[in-house]
Structure formats: structure tokens, C-alpha cells
Structure 1
Amino acid sequence: PRRPRRRITHRCSFCPCSSLSATALERHERTHSTKKTFSCGHCKKSFKHPSFLRNHERIHIDKNPFKCEICQHSFAWRYLLLEHQRRHTGERPFVCGECGSAFGRKGTLLVHERTHTGERPYTCETCGRGYAYRRSLFGHRKGLHK
């Protein structure tokens, strides 16, 4: 009878994360690095991940096939065109279940919902004070921790 193969778990050198795939772990470990090793051949921008570089390079080779029929602005991704078109139509499909406020972008709704939940995901490393919005944390740092 064959013995079951033992699965090798690869552990992150920087945090408790682990993966069965060495490639996936390597990709994960790059998130801890400030080093940007993937450079654009058209300009001087560089990125941590090859997929971020590929997305960036689209701006240089005009791969924006999704065009707005109203203002002719074009986009690399269909979802960005749809999001943009809501600005023209005024459509606000994302509605807060708590107060009924409506938003054109899902991310804006998610941020708004913090006003109801009290969630404060942005914390000052200097004094520990928490903020619901990133811009509030930046303002706090600028004003108090120059």
C-alpha cells in the first residue's frame, strides 16, 4: 500500500502566513518588501508585482478598448468604464442598509458604513489614535506629528 504524500508547508519569513505553494509564498513575501523590482520599459516607474507592471504598461501602448460614448474617455477595464458612466447618469446603485444613502461606487458605500459601525481601521503609529478615514489620519499626522 502507498503511503500518503506529506504536503510541504512553506512559511513566510516576515509573518505567520504559510502556503503549500512556494511560488505563492514568494509572491506573498514581496508584499512585505519596499523593493520594487519590476520596471516599466517606457518610463521610470517600478512595481512590486509583475501584474501591477502589466496593468501600468497598458497606458503606454493605448490598450484602452472601453470608450465612453458620452465624453469619449477610454478605459483599460470594462468595470472602470461602467463606474465612470455612472457620473454621467447619476446612477447610485449602492445603498446603505442603515440609513438609505446611495453611492455610485461600492468602495464609497463601504467607507460610509464606518459612520454606523464605528470602525476605525487607520491607526496613528505615534499615539495610537484611530480614524475611520485615511485622509483623517493624514491630517492628524500633519497637524500633530510634524
Structure 2
Amino acid sequence: MVDIFKGCNQRETIADTINELTGLKEAETTARHVCSQCGKSFYSEGYLKQHLNLHADETPYKCRCGAQFKLKLYLARHMKIHSGQFTCKYCPAAFPCASLLKGHENSHTGNKEFSCEICGKLFYAKGDVRKHRQKVHEKKRRRIKASSR
């Protein structure tokens, strides 16, 4: 299977977006449909069935280029690469969404336009700021909470 997000600094953001778009969001209330493999819970049986495809070995959705995907949504996003809709103007790289392209092009130009609102550190891509916050600031906050107990 081809990983179209290999090296992607917004992999988690994309996963969150996919979950929101497809309804594969963990239930915030008492859920009736729980995945037996990972414990995630869903609002409906249909969402659980879609989610179960992620655990399966099969990749039923295939692109003419040979890429294979577990979900139809992943194939649809992959197809945007072939359309050239999100192609870098500095190199042949293509991306499934505009935000990934933006961060990539910023790395060519050296433009660090995204900043951490806590410490001011600059980044090429919005996803890098989120990862930085989680890794540096949230980790620090958890250590402070743990030591104050």
C-alpha cells in the first residue's frame, strides 16, 4: 500500500479532518458502538463499520497508479494529486490538500509564517506549530500538574 502522507507534517491534522468529515469521531456521550480492536466508540453502526476497514488488511479502493487505500475517502483525496490541483511551484511534489502544499512551499522559500502563540517560535507549516505545542508546552504542563499533586 502506498502511504501518500509519508513525511507529512500534518498527518494528525488530516486524520482529525477525516474523522470529522466521515463522522468517525469518538463519541462524547455513552456510545453504543465500540470497536473491539481499539476501543474507539461511535455514534452509529455505520461509522463503526467504516472504522473497522482501517483495521482490515484489505485495501479495496485502488487508483490507476497502483496506490491502494482502505477507505474511499482516502482514494478521493489521493486523486487530487493526479489532478495537479495542489502541485508545488518550486519542484514536482504534489499534495492532497492546500495546507500541506503551503507548508511545503514555505520550506522552499524559507518563509516561517506560522508562530507558536505561547513562545513565539516560527514554523513553515501550521501542523508543525500544533505538534510543537503538544510536544513542548503540553508535555511541560503535564509535568507541572503531576509534580503539584
Q: TM-score when scaled to structure 1? A: 0.54
> Cα–Cα, structure 1 residues 52 and 90, in superposed 2: closer, same or farther, change >3 Å?
same
Match of 2:49 among 6, 20, 26: 26
| Residue 86 of structure 1: how far off its partner (Å) | 1.5
Assess, with a 3 A threshold, how the Cα gap between structure 1 residues 22 and 86 changes in structure 2: closer, same or farther: same
For the 8 Å contact 2:61–2:71, the answer to whether it is kept is no
Instruction: Compare 97-106 and 38-47 and name the one that shifted more.
Output: 38-47
Which of structures 1 and 2 has the larger relative contact order (alpha carbons within 8 angstroms, sep 6+)?
Answer: 2
| Residue in structure 2 matched with residue 98 of structure 1 by the alignment | 118
TM-score norm. by structure 2 comes to: 0.53
Q: Which has the larger radius of gyration?
A: 1
Q: Residue 42 of structure 2 aligns to which amino acid in structure 1? A: S
Give the drift of 1:79. 2.6
Structure 2 gaps of 5+ residues are 1-30, 141-149
- Alpha carbons of 1:12 and 1:107: their partners in 2 closer, same or farther (altered >3 Å)? same
Structure 1 residues 41 and 64, CA gap change in structure 2 (3 angstroms): closer
Could you say what the CA RMSD is over the residues aligned between the two structures, in angstroms? Answer: 3.2
SS at match of 2:136: helix
Alignment partner of 1:109: what SS? helix
What letter matches 2:125 in structure 1?
A: R
Q: 2:139 aligns with which of 119, 128, 132?
A: 119
Structure 1 unmatched ranges of 5 or more: 1-8, 121-146
Instruction: Provide runs of 4+ in structure 1 moved above 4 Å.
Output: 67-76
Cα 1:112–1:75 shift into 2, 3 Å = closer
- Alignment CA distance shift 1:84-1:35 (3 Å): same
Q: Percent identity?
A: 26
Superposed CA deviations along residues 43-76 of structure 1, whole A, max 9, x for unmatched, are: 55432211112333455xx311344445565545
Change (3 A) 1:69 1:58: closer
Which has more strand, going by share of residues? 1
Question: Which residue of 1 is the match for residue 97 of structure 2?
Answer: 77
1:63 matched to which residue of 2? Answer: 83
Equivalent pairs, count: 108
Q: Do the aligned residues in 1 keep the contact of 2:80 with 2:86 (CA within 8 Å)?
A: no
1:17 to 37, 41, 44: 41
